[in-house]
Amino acid sequence: GAVVSQHPSWVICKSGTSVKIECRSLDFQATTMFWYRQFPKQSLMLMATSNEGSKATYEQGVEKDKFLINHASLTLSTLTVTSAHPEDSSFYICSAFDRTDTQYFGPGTRLTVL
Amino acid sequence: GQNIDQPTEMTATEGAIVQINCTYQTSGFNGLFWYQQHAGEAPTFLSYNVLDGLEEKGRFSSFLSRSKGYSYLLLKELQMKDSASYLCAVRSGGYQKVTFGIGTKLQVIP
C-alpha cells in the first residue's frame, strides 16, 4: 500500500523556538494533505488542510500564524510550529489520500517543548 | 458541526466477540471509517463504509446505517494484540475532510 512518512519522529525543543515537521507521500502524489494533533488520551483533531500550490485551510481555533503550513510539491507538506510553548507539546500526524481514496497516515511526530 | 459518540473504554476476553458502537450526527455524510491505533502510534485503516450494510474483512466487520447515523465495528476471535484504541471517523461536506471520534480503548484480557 501507499506510504506516508514524517520527519522527525520526535523532537524536543526549548520554549520560544520554531520546529518544522515534514510530511511526505512516498509513492503517490497528494494535492491535499491533512495535519492532525492528538493530545494524550484524546482523539485526533484536524488542524488544517494543506493544499499544493495554494494556502492552507485552517480549522476554527487554530492560529494560522503560529502553525505555518507549506505544501510546495505534490509529495511534501511541512508544518512549522512557531515560537513553540509547552502547551504545544503533542503528537502531530499528517495524512493523505491516494488515488484509490484510501487515507494513509504518517507515523507521527512527538513534539515536547520544555 | 459534527458529533461523533463512541464508548471510551471496553473490556473483552481473548477468543470472544466484541462490538464497538459509533453514532454520529452530521450534514453531507460521505462515508465512515474505522481505524485502529496502538498507544504512541499513528492510526491504521480497518474499514470504510459509504453504503448501508455489513462489510466483512477477516476477523473484522463494520456495519453502517445512514438513516440511523449508526455504525459498529465487530471484532471476532479476539487476540491479545487487538488491545488498542478504535477510532470511528466520519467524512462529510468538504473534499476528503475527516472528523474523528474520541476513540474506544479496548482491553483484551486472557
Residue B67 touches partner A, C-beta closer than 8 Å? no
The pLDDT value given to residue A11: 97
User: What are the cell numbers at A63?
Assistant: 492560529
Q: Which residue carries 466484541 as its cell?
A: B18
List of chain A residues with pLDDT < 70: 1-2
Q: Is B28 left (phi over 0), alpha (psi -120 to 50) or beta?
A: left
User: What are the cell numbers at B55?
Assistant: 462489510
Tell me whether residues B97 and A34 touch, CB distance under 8 A. Answer: yes
For chain B, state the CA radius of gyration: 13
pLDDT in tens, B96-108: 678 899 999 999 9
Interface test with A, best of B47, B100, B104 (most A CBs within 10 A): B100
The pLDDT value given to residue B94: 61
- Determine contact, residues A32/A57, Cβ cutoff 8 Å: no
Q: Is the pLDDT of residue B4 over 70?
A: yes
Tell me whether residues A34 and B100 touch, CB distance under 8 A. Answer: no
Establish whether the linkage from the previous residue to B110 is cis, with ω within 30° of 0: no
Q: Kindly identify which residue of chain A lies nearest to residue B95, measuring between CA atoms.
A: A32
pLDDT in tens, B55-94: 999 999 999 999 999 999 999 999 999 999 999 999 887 6
Positive or negative torsion for Cα A39, B108, A9, B95: negative
Q: Kindly identify which residue of chain A lies nearest to residue B4, measuring between CA atoms.
A: A43
pLDDT in tens, B6-26: 999 999 999 999 999 999 998
Virtual torsion, Cα B95, A43, A36, B54, nearest 10 deg: -30
Tell me whether residues B42 and A106 touch, CB distance under 8 A. Answer: yes
Residue B3 touches partner A, C-beta closer than 8 Å? no
Min Cα–Cα distance to chain B from A68, Å = 19
The pLDDT value given to residue A2: 66
The pLDDT value given to residue A103: 85
End-to-end Cα separation, chain A, in angstroms: 37
